[in-house]
Amino acid sequence: MVALIDYGSGNVRSVFNALKSLGADVRLTADVSEISRAKRIVLPGVGAFGDCVGGLKERGLWDVMHAALHDGRPFLGICVGYQMLFEESEENPGVRGFGFFPGRVKRFSTPGLKIPQIGWNSLDLAPHPLWTGLPANPYVYFVHSYFPATGDESVVIARSTYGETFAAAAARGNVAGVQFHPEKSQAVGLTILRNFLGAK
């Protein structure tokens, strides 16, 4: 069973439908016991960093998410769900993330750049099981004004460039996060989600 975490962060229906289309037994849930039993966890996120952190805490899900990051189950963070895996964000100073990956989330600062970035952009991939079967430099769909910056390049598994080059995806062990939206990235995104569902 795949637990898709429901904590009031935007519309998760597209993520649910993408996973369901791949044959996953996916549950949209805020139930701690159900999340604890799940074989895989997907943490989505739309909106402000601080609101997402607050949503998890208000629903009593922060501790179970923190535990899940360290218990070996496949875990995928999407968009702000990815950003929360880092230590903090410029978007809401003083609000702490999970700190699973070192670094902080920054706002795009290139002069003249249209913010937020909305649309398709290519990835420069490092070897990782999530990318199995993808073409070179695949295009995926982004909607974001902020991106994680890390001093530990060993966790970065994909980069993209929009004014500046940033960590479009990171992973360590069974935990991965992506800044883009695989559920909106057509065949490439479905391949990534299929690879996540097949992760051991």
Helix (H, G, I), strand (E, B) or coil at 41: strand
Domain around 180: 2-197
pLDDT of 119 over the 80 cut:
yes
DSSP 192: H
Report angle CA 39, 170, 165 to the nearest 5 degrees.
Answer: 155
pLDDT, one tens digit per residue, over 10-67 is: 779 999 999 999 999 999 999 999 999 999 999 999 889 999 999 999 999 999 999 9
Q: 24 — phi, psi (to 5°)?
A: -75, 145
Give Cβ neighbours of residue 103 (< 8 Å, ≥ 6 apart): 86, 87, 148, 149, 150, 151, 152, 167
Mean pLDDT of all residues in 77-101: 97
Summarised one tens digit per residue, pLDDT across range 127-163 is 999 999 999 999 999 999 999 999 899 999 999 999 9
What's the CATH number where 69 sits?
3.40.50.880
Q: What is the pLDDT of residue 8?
A: 84
Euclidean distance between CA atoms 161 and 168, whole angstroms: 9
Q: Please give the tally of structural domains in the chain.
A: 1
Catalytic residue annotation: 79, 181, 183
- Residue 147 near residue 167 (C-beta atoms within 8 A): yes
Q: Which residue, 90, 86, 28, 89, is CA-closest to 59?
A: 28
Beta bridge partners of 18: none
193: which 2 tokens? 């989600």
Q: Which two tokens stand for residue 142?
A: 């982004």
Tokens encoding 138:
């695949």
CB 5 within 8 A of CB 78: no
Residue 78: its pLDDT value, please?
97
130 beta partners: none
Closest CA relative to residue 86, chosen from 76, 78, 94, 96: 96
Q: How many CB atoms lie within 10 A of CB 22?
A: 16
